[in-house]
Structure 1
Amino acid sequence: MTDVALDLIPVWSVILGIGVFFYVLLDGFDLGVGMLYGFAPEASKDLLMNSVAPIWDGNETWLILGGVGLLAVFPLAYAIIIPAVYFPILAMLLGLIFRGVSFEFRFRQPHVRRFWNGGFAVGSAVAAFAQGAVLGAMIQGFKVSGRNFAGTSFDWLTPFSVFTGIALMLGYGLLGACWLILKTEGDVQAWARRMGRIAFIAVLIAIGVVSVWTPLMDAGIAARWFSWPNIVGLAPVPLITLAIAYGTWRALNGDSQAGPFAGAMGLFLMSYIGIAISLYPMLVRPVYTLWDAASAPSTQVFLLIGTLFLLPVIIMYSAWSYWVFRGKVRGDMGYH
């Protein structure tokens, strides 16, 4: 056991948790716009593309932070999780690459724009589904022998992981629709509100199913949520989620511009908190905790020093890019 004063695991858990959450929110809405892009009227496709053009690649910075942080701070978890979910991670990366290529070539090869339009939508959907499948695999756990993954390359492929993949696609679709409500006007905004209401209903159903399915899979998770007095202490989580859902639905059916997006972010935050409560302190279920999977304290200190310089820079340039490109998107805003 390390000295309590040197225990940086809670600090790193917060840093990486925030990084993953920022990625889910920020890249989530532009992946959502990408998926909705496949259903959008042809006349509005340029507007949808322009709504994410200035910021989509910067959003993926948080994915790099999460991946590198997991490797450096929790190397044992990295060594087990990556082989276990190799195929969905590969699918995610290929989806993100094809999506990025489609984004660029759509403007530079107008004679095959229809193909690249499809590539943008399909790449976004594949990446979103793969991320949800990885989440499902982490919730259901891995087969571990000693310090190695002992399962097969397709252990991740279960009904639960498939459902979480679809659920995250729906969640990203809701974020994307709410982002378009914030960034567009007129007919495009009205269309986004309709898509947002459809996605919202589907997301509520998905949250309910995962909330029931997860404790049914694991008695320990069920005991954490439903044993006394935990059931009283954790009751605010579902109650706040219901209150946010009510406010989001009203915002989607009203005239609010920012309300739907704020509500969608709130639903993601509460879902994220719920997953964290279910899994903590396990990082590689059902064997290794955060402390078991961590690197040496000296390594954590060294990495923390660099991160404390790097993280504010990432936050500042991300915030600056959103500030510069604030406001509504117009049809005459080109991408170059």
Structure 2
Amino acid sequence: MNMKEEKWYKKKKFRRIVLGTVLLLLLGIGGYAFSIFKSFNSAIETMHQPIEKTNKRDNDISMQKQDPFSVLMLGVDETANNSGRTDTMILLTVNPKEESVKMLSIPRDTKTEIVGNGTVEKINHAYARGGVEMSIATVEHFLDMPIDYYVKINMEGFKDVIDALNGVTVVNDMDLTYKNDHFPKGEIELNGKKALVFSRIRYEDPRGDFGRQIRQKQIIQAILDKGTNLSSLLKIDDVLGKLGENIKTNFTLKEMLSIQKQYKSLNKNIEQIQFKDGNGGKEAGVWYYYPDETELSEIKQTLKGHLLLK
């Protein structure tokens, strides 16, 4: 072999090594992407739990046409031996053309009619009496508006999602202590167990249920922020698995992809609405929250107007 042939052979060998290395990387990435795709599909299939469409809509809504829609988020304390109650009830109205979201936190102790059960009691009892369907029917009656979608989150199991993300970071606006757990004011790191405690504190906060709603929103936002970090992608299989186990929704995969594609900028324009003018009191030893009727009427009109309803 002369020098020219040897040089050509070495160059060819080098190209084979480079191409082989690139091929292995592509195969590795491709295999990882396929694994993510399989995990994603599996998680969506596990999450998807359809229910009957609301009868408060005259016409079906369309994501493609950018029709406004509503979502009821239910944070549920649920175990294998206990159907649980809703610890959190958050209503979202989404208006794609206005690129806006309105978010209402419904106090869990609100006294109202539990539709389908024939009782008047705390609104968070609706889930224990009749699951997601009764919760939706009760909120629809309470706010006089349709609920198009729901997302149910098992709060007890959701701590596993946070642990799969190696914890979350929040900025605590108030020094709080609950039993053996202390949460100082300022930026704090939380694992799944502590995040669950942090999100549930109520009586130790002078703001009561409203303070807890603020912390729950912080935890949800922290999970979303952490989940979009590159380092979290390495644990995507674990995260997707935990999400599939602890979330149920009637959103289809097509609708989720449509929201991600068309409405991903909406989270920059979220208006938080709260009940401020109501009061509380006890009946037969049970504490209730009584919304101010004028404020409730204004909230109804605001939300219905956002959905372009009369």
Higher strand share: 2
Q: TM-score by structure 1 length?
A: 0.28
Higher helix share: 1
Larger Rg: 2
Q: TM-score by structure 2 length?
A: 0.30
